[in-house]
Structures are given as C-alpha cells and as structure tokens.
Amino acid sequence: MNRPTRRQFLADLGAGLGAAKVAGGTPLLAEPHASPARPVQGESAASSVQTLPAGIDFRYSPLSSQLTFCFPDDHHKSLVGEHGDLRYGHPGVGRGIDYFPEVVDFSLEGMEADVVRWQQLEAPGVPVVHTRINRPEAFLELTTFATRRAGEGRVDNVIVEVEPKSLHALHAVPLVILRTKREVKLTQSSGATIVHLGSETAPPFMVSDVPLSLHEDGVVWRSYAMNAGLAADGTRFRRFFRFPQEGQDFGKLKDGLTHLDALLAETRDYWQDWKPFEGNVSWQLPSRYGEFLVACARNIQQAREEKEGKLTFQVGPTVYRGLWIADGNFILEAARYLGYDKAAQEGLETEWSRQFPDGQVAASAGTEDWKDTGIAMFTLVRQAELSQDWTYFRQMQPNVLRAVKFLEGLREKARRAGSVNGRYGLLAEGFADGGLGGIRPEFTNTLWVLAGLRAVLKAARQLHLSGFEDAERFYKELRASFFAAAAHEMRRYPSGFEYLPMLMKEDRAWSAPDPWDRPRPQTAQWALSQAIYPGLVFKKNDPIVAGHIKLMQACAQEDVPADTGWLHHGGVWNYNAAFVAHVYLWAGVTDWARLTFRGFLNHATPRYCWREEQPVRGSLTAGYVGDMPHNWASAESILYLRHMLALEDGPALRLLGGIGDFELSGDQPLDLTGTPTRFGRVDANLEPLGGRRGWRLKFRRGVGPAPSRLELPERLGSRCRFARLTGAESRQEENAILVQPGASSWEAMWRC
C-alpha cells in the first residue's frame, strides 16, 4: 500500500535530527542523565516540586511558530508565522514542516532589521492576529484575519499600518515580499494591483488597495514596494491586502478593498458569537486555564474538515493534515467533552472506515503500526461510554472480531519469523513511533493492543454479548506473555531504579558504536504512559508503573520529560508531557501532575498552540519537528483540565484530584456542567465561599451506571480541609473522602 506515513515524514528529516559533536568525536551527552535541576529518586521527591514557580507565562514558548486563522471546518487552512508572514501551499503529509511554495512577508525599507515586539490574538476564541514589528522610527503593525462574505467567498486579509514613534512627519516605504518559484504578473484595475501567479489570466493570488511595483531579485523571491507613505501627528499610514482562497476574480473582491473595517467587524462578530461548547455542556475555568480551554476548542475546529460527507478531526494543517488513529482517540474524547457529539460520532465512523478486509485498521501512521487496530477498538468503547449509546458498538461487533483475528495473526507471524517477539508470544515486530523508527522488536504495539482488547472485552461482558470467547482467550494469553517478557526486559537506570524500555535488549541499536546514537531510556515511552492511563493495563502498585514514573521524573527538563520523542538530545515532545501528567494524576503523584501539566502549557505560544517537538532553551543539537498547531496537544489540554476535576478510574470516579494551591489561588469558580462520563453526565461546580473561608462542591449525576467508588480529596491544596458533606453518606479513608456512589446529588465543603 502506498499510504504516506508518519515514519516516512520523519525519515525525511535526515541530518536535521543529527547532532554536532565536540572536537575529538566525544558525544556531548553520552549516557542517560537526570536533569541537574531536578534530581529525583522515587516518591519522596514529589514534595520538592511544590517550591518551584507555579505560573503559566509561556516561558518555554517556541521561538519559531505558526497558527491558523481560518474558520471552523474550513478547507483553507490559512497560516500566519511568527513574523506576521503568510504561508501557503503546503501539500500535506510527505513534505517537511517548512515546505511552503508561497510565503508573503511584510516589512519596511531602511537599514535596520525588523524586530517582532509581540504577536497576539484579540482573544483566545477570536483568531484575529496582531503582529507588532519594531523599527527605530516607527512600528509596523499587521492585522491578519479571514473572511467569507456572501457573494465574495473565502478570503485572507492583512491590514498593514505604519505608526510613527514621534509626532514629526515620517516617510515610510512598506514592502510586501512574495517568495515563490512561479512566474509573477501584475495587472492594475480601479487603482488596485492584482498579483497573478503563472500568467495574467490566472486567478488573483493577491490584490492590494495601492499600486505595487515589481522588483526582481533572484529566482526565488520578488519584492513589491508600495508607494511612499507619509505618516504624521500620530496618525497611521494604512494599506490593505487580500488573498482570495477560492480562485475568485477581482470583480468579487474590489468592493471589499474599500471596506476593510466592515470586513474586520464581520469576522469579529462571527467569532464573538462562536461558542467552544455545544449541546448542554459548559465549562468555567479561571484565568489561563479558561483561555487554553477556549483556544484549544477553536484549534480543533479549525483543523477539522469534511471529507466524503463526514467530519474528520485532523491533527494539524500541514504535515499532519489527515487522519491519525492514535491522535484521533484523544481528539475524539476531547470533542465529546466539549459537547460535539454528532461530529465525534462522524469522526469515529471515519476511523473505522479505514478497516481493511483482513481486519486491520490503519491510517496515516502506516500499515506496520499494529497498535492502530487496538486503539480503534479502544476508541469505539470510549465513545460508547461517553455517549451512553451502545448501538454503534453492537453494530460493529463483526468488525471488532475481525480486528481481533488480524491481531492474532500478528502473533503467529512473529512466531513463524522466529523473532524475539515471537519467542515471547507477542505481536510481530512493528513500528513504535515516538522516537523509535523502523520495524523493531518493541513493546508499544502489544501494550496498546492489550488496552484495546481489555476495553472491548469489558464492554462485551457488561452488554452480555456472545462471540467474544476467542478474543478473551487471546487477551489472556497475550497479557501473560507480555508480563513474562517484561520481567526479562527490565533495565537499571544509572541512579538505581528499574524501568521497562520500549525497545528490547536484542535490538542492535543498544550497542551502537557511538553512544550518542543509542536509544534513550525514555524513547517511545509514550505508549507505556497511555497503557497505564487511560488504558488501565496495570495496577497502581505494579513495578512497571513505578519505574515509568521514576524514569519520567529523572529525564525532566523545563518542567516536562525531555528527549522522549524524535529529538533524542536537547528536545521536548510537548504533548508527551500531558501523557505523563495523566499518569501522575492517576497514580496520585499530584504535585508532579500539576507541575508537568503547567510545564506543558508553558511550552505553548502565547497564541495557545504547540509545535509537536521543539528544542529546550540553549540546545545546540535539536530542531523543530511536526505540525503546528498540533491538535493532539490541544486535545490533551482539554482532557487534563477535565480530569483534574473529574477523573474516571475504571469503575471509580475521582473528583478534584488535580486541584492544588495554584488552581485555588484566584478564588474563582471551577465549573463542569453536563460533562459526559461512563457513569452518565456529571455536574461538578467548585466555588469559593468568599474571604478565603473555604470551598463548596456541588455535585449532580444524571442517568447512567453508578460508579463503584466515588472519591474526594480530604485536603484541597495545602490549607483547606474537608468539613462536611450533605445529601449523601460519606466516610474518610486515609486521605480520601468516600461518598455514597449511588447518590445523584450532594454538596461537600472544605474549610481553610
């Protein structure tokens, strides 16, 4: 099959993932290391993180970035870069992150270079982008926004303004610089300039409200100088540029050239009316948390697209503009949390439309990423739990059983090949992802398949469905084989704890002549994080869980696990931090959960989006990897914000487990209304009593199976202790308050 894969994309990075070495060939980092800023040894270290800075101030924001400013479900994924540049024409999967056939920059003539003073959105839910560029005598400000006025169609727009720094008259020559390899032609009409690519008969690429002159300077780029403008007495020199996205002719665009303020007002009105939630779902979170929630909902909708009559939740606008099964599981869960029930169901059906006749489910990650089949099974169950509608699950039983047969065949394939996977009784060697390329003896595929099988079999038992007997047998055998293999494959970290690497000892990469080229212990641990939570493959006291937690703590830099992905030296895989934060939250290592999640948020840009991977500050070895905005990251932000208030732990429901001093510091409500769970829809409204006297939680649960255990923390933060609960029976068990699970409505109070 000739599907483009994530593996192929990453292979194209080539030397970009390599690293320079000091003279003499000695690697800069030859062995696994713990961050010197955070030496961690086991559980006792968790308390040490309380003294670290708690703010969300984008301190680790990438210096190279881009964001979308298009509409929800928009086919035209318009991008603006960190300098206010427009980026066009990325073909999608298979090209590098910087492959844009047309790039439009805005600048000024003069000696000094542009310095971006800031770039910001008008609001987290209003993607009107303002970029302010500093020059010695003036500011250049760019306002970038999308429109789709009736009769005109989809258009990108940039308002260019020159603002003097003093009151004396100022001459300025703004520039618009088009970088393209295509032939450029200019035509004039009604005082406007029309820029065509290819020939004068081609549809307009750009139109401006001012005459432009062409200055050729080499083959790759051409610059267009506007007429000299005069700005004085604090007024602004202003020009307008429009970029039609649907091949519209100039006749449809010319009226808008003289009504830029009206166009901008229309875009503002649209986004101010837009809501991040649908149905009966609503959230209220304080400060940055609320900003990220709204912005991430917008990011996800902007990346989404209708294909073959159904909405597809796509990961990003460029290299990951497509369907990815692993990413999709978490994006679809976030969609349910936001109330996008119909779109989530369409997204689920789109995923299962990728099932082949042999039972495999595969999408953009390729056909040797066996875990996608297990993840699709897991997603099927999770979506039914959240919707409380098992109709589609029942309908898909033949597809699920065919998927199980395919997975059984992978185990037989491994045995026939005589591989180490076969000797252990695991799935065939496959693609691990997360920094581990090629077809290797690895655990990630088996781990996610165990999670998918576990979810499906649990659901089948609850629904009293027959026909899953062979699947049950296969699951038990595969699970036993995995734990037996894991016992042989555990390794010792230099600081003394045991952990399970995702690459088996037999792989030659462990003995590469140059230590720099050997796998990092934390490489590809993403799948283990997810098998722990939400996969629930392990018990909390399992040594594999303990080793994973210690490993993630040991490799922390910039408040997040580092070197866990494709950037093996000096890089962070941003949303991997959210995977690990969930493990910490589930395991009760709550200080580390909060620190790591805030570290994840601090790696976003101030425009509330993430690059997949980026260098740590000061790195001389790492680059940038992956799409931006990356919406697995957006989804993980939404998921953690929900789970810090309401976490489903198998048959148990844990409330407020992620709430600490930082979350309480603003004395503002934290509110979930109508949030879907496997126990029905839940309202959880945490509100301050005023004057820092305490907090009250109002809880209500709708129709659905009762949890077997409903748990609250005895302490909220460091100052507030549980006082009483009304409306249901409760009792204290160590540091938890256990509430009568079947009670549908009650209130709890903490005094500070």
**365: amino acid identity, one letter:** A
| Same domain? 291 vs 371 | yes
**Phi, psi torsion values for 338, nearest 5 degrees:** -90, -5
- Other CB atoms within a 10 A radius of the CB of residue 488 amount to 10
Q: What is the pLDDT of residues 255-264, one digit of tens each?
A: 999 999 999 9
Domain count, the chain: 3
Element (H, E) at 489: helix 469-489
Residues 204/195, Cβ–Cβ less than 8 Å: yes
For residues 241 and 205, what is the distance between their CA atoms, to the nearest angstrom? 11
d(CA 211, CA 611): 37
Q: Would you state the structure tokens that stand for residue 96, as one six-digit string?
A: 């590098």
The domain boundary, picked from 250, 273, 296, lies at: 273
Tell me the pairing of strands 745-751 and 720-726: antiparallel
Q: What does DSSP say about strands 709-713 and 652-655: parallel, antiparallel, or unpaired?
A: parallel
Same domain for 317 and 170, yes or no, is no
Does any domain span residue 66? no
| C-beta separation of 624 from 64 below 8 A | yes
678 in the same domain as 570: no
The verdict on 412 and 430 lying in the same domain is: yes
Q: For 607-735, where are the alpha helices, taking DSSP H only?
A: 631-643, 661-664
Pairing relationship of beta strands 102-108 and 498-499 according to DSSP bridges: unpaired
Structural domain boundaries, residue 81: 73-273
> Residue 68 falls within a domain, yes or no?
no
Tell me the two tokens of residue 34: 């713990």
Report the C-alpha gap between 317 and 558 in whole angstroms: 27
The answer to whether residue 337 is domain-embedded is: yes
Q: Could you say which of 210, 245, 273 is where a domain stops? A: 273
Residue 616 inside a domain? The answer is yes
Judge if 581 and 488 occupy the same domain: yes
Q: Are 712 and 734 in contact (CB under 8 A)?
A: no
* CATH classification at residue 706: 2.60.40
pLDDT for position 234: 58
Q: Last residue of a domain, which of 598, 619, 644?
A: 644
Tell me how far apart the alpha carbons of residues 526 and 530 are, in angstroms, rounded to a whole number.
6
Torsion region of 388: left, alpha or beta (phi above 0 gives left; psi -120 to 50 gives alpha): left
Shared-domain flag, residues 147 and 135? yes
* Pair (543, 636) in one structural domain: yes
DSSP string, 171-235: EE-EEEEEE-SS-EEEEEETTEEEEEESSTTSPEEEEESS-EEEEE-SSSEEEEEEPPEEE-TT-
Cis peptide before 629 (omega within 30 of 0): yes
**Pair of tokens at residue 44:** 């006792």
Which value, to the nearest 10 degrees, does the dihedral of the CA atoms of residues 332, 334, 338, 344 take? 0
**Residue 230's Cα: distance from chain center in Å?**
45
| CA distances, 15 to each of 11, 189, 426, 432 (Å) | 10, 48, 33, 21
Same domain flag for 364 and 334 = yes
Assess whether 218 and 332 both reside in one domain: no
Burial state string for 627-648 with b = 16 or more CB within 10 A and e = fewer than 16: bbbbbbbbbbbbbbbbbbbbbb
Q: Which residues of the chain have pLDDT under 70?
A: 1-54, 216-235
* Residue 1, domain member (yes or no): no
Q: What is the pLDDT of residue 229?
A: 64
Tell me whether residue 65 is in a domain: no
Integer Cα distance of 91 and 89 in angstroms: 6
Residue 594 near residue 606 (C-beta atoms within 8 A): no
**pLDDT of amino acid 32:** 28
Q: What is the CATH number of the domain that holds 14?
A: 1.50.10.10
